[in-house]
């Protein structure tokens, strides 16, 4: 199950991607917003916490650029949020970073490109192996900075 959210800058793209997910029978829960002006860190926090808790396998966050959402989501322990606008990054952030949230820019990419990014993000497995050691370092940094 996918947790999704946006601010006003990402609303149009979120609505379009919801229709796409429905066509593919991919289950999601929409954590808002409903198009009104809002603060992206509030939405990022709700979606990131839902993913970090284990209730949702992955998340999708959309703001104007995708950058604010990724900065905010990455403040939540256990979250590896990646802001992507190209196919290679969306693929390799799964393979090498085991990213669990994809952030997109609603003012940057159109619906067709966004669908391809969502597809590859959802369907690419983490490689593990040598990459796990690096993720362990990130987890250690997270723990150190929480002290």
Q: How far is the CB of 12 from ligand RB5 (least distance, A)?
A: 12
Q: How far is the CB of 17 from ligand RB5 (least distance, A)?
A: 16
Chain residue whose CB lies nearest ligand RB5 = 68
Q: Which residues bind ligand RB5 (CB under 6 A)?
A: 7, 9, 40, 63-65, 67-68
Residue 86 or residue 127: which is nearer to ligand RB5 going by CB? 86
Active-site pick, 63, 83, 84, 103:
63
The helix/strand/coil state of 11 is helix
Greatest alpha-carbon pair distance for the chain in Å reads 45
DSSP codes joined into one string, 67-135: HHHHHHHTTSTT--EEE-SSHHHHHHHHHTT---EEEEETTTS-HHHHHHHHHHHHH-----THHHHHH
Catalytic annotation present for 6: no
Catalytic annotation present for 96: yes
Residues classed as catalytic? 63, 96
């Amino acid at each position: 199950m996918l947790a999704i959210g946006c601010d006003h800058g990402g609303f149009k793209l979120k609505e379009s991607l919801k229709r796409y997910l429905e066509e593919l029978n991919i289950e999601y829960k929409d954590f808002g917003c409903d198009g009104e002006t809002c603060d992206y860190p509030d939405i990022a926090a709700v979606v990131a916490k839902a993913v970090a808790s284990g209730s949702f396998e992955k998340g999708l966050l959309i703001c104007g650029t995708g950058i604010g959402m990724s900065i905010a989501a990455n403040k939540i322990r256990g979250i590896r949020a990646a802001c992507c606008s190209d196919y290679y990054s969306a693929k390799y952030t799964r393979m090498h970073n085991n990213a669990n949230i994809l952030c997109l820019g609603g003012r940057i990419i159109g619906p067709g490109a966004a669908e391809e990014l969502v597809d590859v993000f959802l369907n690419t497995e983490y490689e593990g192996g040598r990459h796990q050691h690096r993720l362990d370092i990130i987890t250690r940094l997270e723990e150190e900075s929480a002290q």
